[in-house]
Amino acid sequence: MSIWYVKKLDKKINWIRKIFNPVNITQVQNKMIVELPNEKYVVRLAKKMYERQNQNLVLASNLKVENFQNICNILDGRWIFKYMLPNVIDYISEKMNRDSGLQEIAVMTNDNSENNLKMLAELAQKVKLLSIVTEDLDKFKHLEEFLMGNMGIVIRTTNNKKKALNKSNIILNLDFQEGDINKYSIPKQAIFVSTNDKIVIKSRRFEGININFYSIELPEEYNNWFKTNGLLAEFEHEVLLESMLYYKKSYDAIQPELRNVKIKHLIGNNGIIQDAEFLKKFTENLH
């Protein structure tokens, strides 16, 4: 498998090239940079990508994802979003003027893969109280026992739909679907973060913050590589970061690369969440 960066050409091409070689493909290390003369070549490229199975695409911001859906794996920044949750907790806490170690958070997940367990363990060490909301309590018994036996950290696992989220001011959704989330009672002023998809919280009493994406500043070492290869301006930086880390499959390999990644904004269904909103929700939670 390889990663292909697809964008439109910055300038018009002459008629000879348009006939014989309209698409420019450059290989840089193990990555392919594809430049298309105009929109109509997107569909042609999509057909060629269908023949090359197991390709990962990074699309420029001005290209339509729909042309490649069900043909290739399109990187969209959501895969890495989950691994950035420790950064997200620090960002929210900073905007609240509150230490991360005082936060009570809940994570909604049914995934007990090794990477997920390691991330949950890191979160448990970072915050005051971690609650795991899951449909299968047995999946996380070993993590409970490990944290208690080796670190003296108590976490809570629950599937009580009325009470599971009551004490959590920050709720992180990893893999619950919208219908399942809305079966739970969500605190009125909670900060809700969903990494897997945009979620609509249907409770009429919910007045909190609903976050579904993020924006970042690329670390300098990555910034320079993308700038040198003409990719920095036309692609979302979150997707570029994901493309650099996509083959680092273990949590231990991924997490050190994220420690210096700065979150610029968290984004909700209506756009960027302003800094004052986080402090406002924290203040309202005190009353």
pTM exceeds cut of 0.85: yes
Contact 21, 10 (CB under 8 A): no
Model confidence at 168: pLDDT above 90: yes
CATH architecture of residue range(s) 79-215+260-286:
3-Layer(aba) Sandwich (3.40)
Task: For 108-129, write each residue's pLDDT tens digit.
Answer: 999 999 999 999 999 999 999 9
Cα 258 to chain center, whole Å? 12
| Separation between Cα atoms, residue 183 and residue 202, nearest integer Å | 10
Give just the sign of the alpha carbon dihedral 146, 171, 112, 123.
negative
**What confidence tier does 56 reach under pLDDT thresholds 50, 70, 90?**
confident
Domains of the chain, by residue range, sit at: 3-74, 79-215+260-286
The H or E element containing residue 30 is: none
Burial 222-252 (b: 16+ CB within 10 A, else e): beebbeeeebbebbbbbbbbbbbbbeeeebe
pLDDT band at 237 (very low <50, low <70, confident <90, very high): very high
CA distance 265 to 50: 35
Distances (CA, A) of 149 to 75, 144, 146, 154, 228: 39, 8, 5, 9, 49
Per-residue pLDDT at 46:
66
Integer-rounded Cα Rg, in Å, for the chain is: 21
Residue type, 231: L
Average of per-residue pLDDT across 151-172: 95
Residue with tokens 């009672």: 185
Percent of the chain exceeding pLDDT 90 equals 66
